């Protein structure tokens, strides 16, 4: 479907939605354009992503394609219902509307200016100061953004939801550098189709997974905390892959030998202690999200907010893909 057809269809669809419908919000879209593809935004084959304006704000439309089969349609509607059921939170992207009563089914989500955090970190690495504004990461900003992500994670856990895909690729960054946790497809799949005992989660990014997940015991809330520690490592290294020198198939054995993420150059004792506190082998030894929030909040007060972090070399995408273990993964979409 072309951009022009999408614009005509979504406007007609929204105009036709009955007032008594349970749809959360509707209104005509303008300036509909295809969402530029980035490394971390990888929609599945059944959906298309578009940018648009709605009620004087930038939004992203996730539109189900015409060729989607009944199973994909059921998944799309179920995922939309799941997101709606989570309710609003200041550090989750806002779901502005869902259209399901007439084709094409779509979700409307707020657009965050800087897109995914991983791309933002890479622009910081390059000293990019283009149209999207300057990119600069300090330790103080890491603590502030991490506290926001931890707040979203605590909220999800309070809803009985395990995220399962925490990483820089699944955090979105606003124009004011507010960080919002996304990438909730994994959480929905766990809700809709719980894994059988002993069934691994091979579709996820293994180098972000906790040992218990790697060994097939399934993900829990403290598994998210492990992944959160890896996210902190990504932030302080401006987007380096974790365990870069370790093959993903050997990672569990590496961790069993008592190995852990090495302290990056330029990483303070305060920040590294949080990374280590998140990445204990035993889940019960890891910090809870509420403890993390308190720790991050206190650390932010005295953290260095003047010195921008730097990286020793520009990002090589092919090398990153290899070292991060993307070859075997099928879920890294943030939208």
Using CA atoms, how far apart are residues 109 and 93, in angstroms rounded to an integer? 7
Under 8 Å between Cβ of 170 and 155: no
The verdict on 97 and 151 lying in the same domain is no
Residue 155 in this model has a pLDDT that exceeds 50: yes
In 59-166, where does DSSP find H-type helix? Answer: 70-86, 117-125, 139-158
3-state SS track over 281-329: CCHHHCCCHHHHHHHHHHHHHHCCCCCCCCCCCCCCHHHHHHHHCHHHC
The verdict on 73 and 193 lying in the same domain is no
Sheet of strand 30-34: strand arrangement: 30-34, 47-54, 57-64, 106-110, 95-99
| CATH code of the domain covering residue 69 | 3.30.200.20
The encoded tokens of residue 38 equal 């980035």
User: Does residue 65 fall inside a structural domain?
Assistant: yes
Using CA atoms, how far apart are residues 177 and 135, in angstroms rounded to an integer? 10
* Beta strands in 164-209, from DSSP E residues, in sequence order: 171-173, 179-181
Banded pLDDT at 23 (limits 50, 70, 90): very low
| CATH code of the domain covering residue 233 | 1.10.510.10
Q: Give the residue from 248, 250, 236 showing the smallest Cα distance to 322.
A: 248
In 159-242, where does DSSP find H-type helix? Answer: 185-192, 211-214, 221-236
User: Does residue 135 fall inside a structural domain?
Assistant: yes
User: Does residue 278 fall inside a structural domain?
Assistant: yes
Residue 332 in this model has a pLDDT that exceeds 80: no
Mean pLDDT of 229-243: 97
The verdict on 40 and 136 lying in the same domain is no
Residue 85 in this model has a pLDDT that exceeds 90: yes
User: Does residue 334 fall inside a structural domain?
Assistant: no
Using CA atoms, how far apart are residues 305 and 303, in angstroms rounded to an integer? 6
Rg, C-alpha atoms of the chain: 20
pLDDT per residue as tens digits for the range 261-316: 999 998 999 999 999 999 999 999 999 999 999 999 999 999 999 999 999 888 89
pLDDT of residue 329: 52
The verdict on 138 and 101 lying in the same domain is no
pLDDT of residue 135: 83
In which domain, by residue range, is 78 found? 3-110
pLDDT per residue as tens digits for the range 95-151: 999 988 778 899 999 999 999 999 999 999 876 544 455 688 999 999 999 999 999
Q: Give the residue from 50, 85, 84, 82 showing the smallest Cα distance to 64.
A: 50
The encoded tokens of residue 282 equal 């035993």
pLDDT more than 70, % of the chain: 81
pLDDT of residue 88: 94
The verdict on 102 and 122 lying in the same domain is no
Residue finishing a domain among 110, 130, 164 = 110
pLDDT: which is higher, 224 or 48: 224
pLDDT of residue 18: 36
pLDDT of residue 322: 92
Mean pLDDT of 162-173: 96
Residue 38 in this model has a pLDDT that exceeds 90: no
Number of folded domains that form the chain: 2
pLDDT of residue 94: 94
């Amino acid at each position: 479907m072309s951009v022009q057809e999408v614009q005509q269809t979504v406007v007609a669809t929204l105009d036709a939605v009955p007032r008594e419908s349970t749809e959360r919000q509707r209104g005509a879209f303008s300036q509909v354009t295809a969402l530029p593809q980035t490394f971390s935004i990888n929609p599945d084959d059944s959906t298309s992503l578009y940018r648009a304006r709605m009620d004087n704000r930038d939004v992203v439309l996730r539109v189900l394609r015409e060729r989607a089969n009944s199973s994909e349609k059921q998944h799309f509607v179920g995922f939309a219902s799941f997101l709606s059921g989570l309710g609003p939170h200041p550090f989750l992207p806002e779901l502005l509307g869902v259209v399901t009563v007439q084709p094409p089914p779509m979700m409307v989500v707020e657009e965050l200016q800087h897109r995914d955090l991983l791309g933002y970190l890479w622009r910081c690495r390059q000293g990019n100061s283009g149209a999207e504004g300057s990119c600069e990461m300090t330790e103080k900003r890491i603590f502030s953004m991490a506290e926001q992500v931890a707040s979203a994670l605590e909220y999800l856990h309070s809803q009985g939801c395990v995220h399962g895909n925490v990483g820089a690729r699944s955090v979105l960054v606003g124009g004011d550098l507010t960080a919002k946790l996304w990438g909730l497809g994994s959480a929905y799949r766990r809700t809709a189709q719980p894994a059988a005992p002993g069934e691994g989660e091979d579709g996820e990014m293994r180098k972000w997974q906790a040992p218990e997940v790697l060994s097939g015991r399934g993900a829990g809330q403290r598994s998210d905390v492990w992944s959160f520690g890896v996210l902190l490592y990504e932030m302080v290294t401006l987007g380096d892959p974790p365990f870069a020198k370790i093959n993903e198939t050997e990672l569990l054995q590496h961790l069993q030998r008592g190995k852990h993420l090495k302290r990056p150059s330029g990483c303070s004792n305060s920040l590294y202690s949080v990374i280590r506190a998140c990445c204990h082998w035993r889940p019960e030894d890891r910090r809870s999200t509420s403890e993390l929030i308190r720790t991050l909040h206190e650390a932010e007060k005295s953290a260095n907010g003047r010195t921008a972090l730097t990286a020793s070399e520009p990002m090589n995408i092919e090398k990153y893909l290899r070292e991060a273990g993307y070859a075997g993964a099928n879920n890294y979409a943030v939208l």
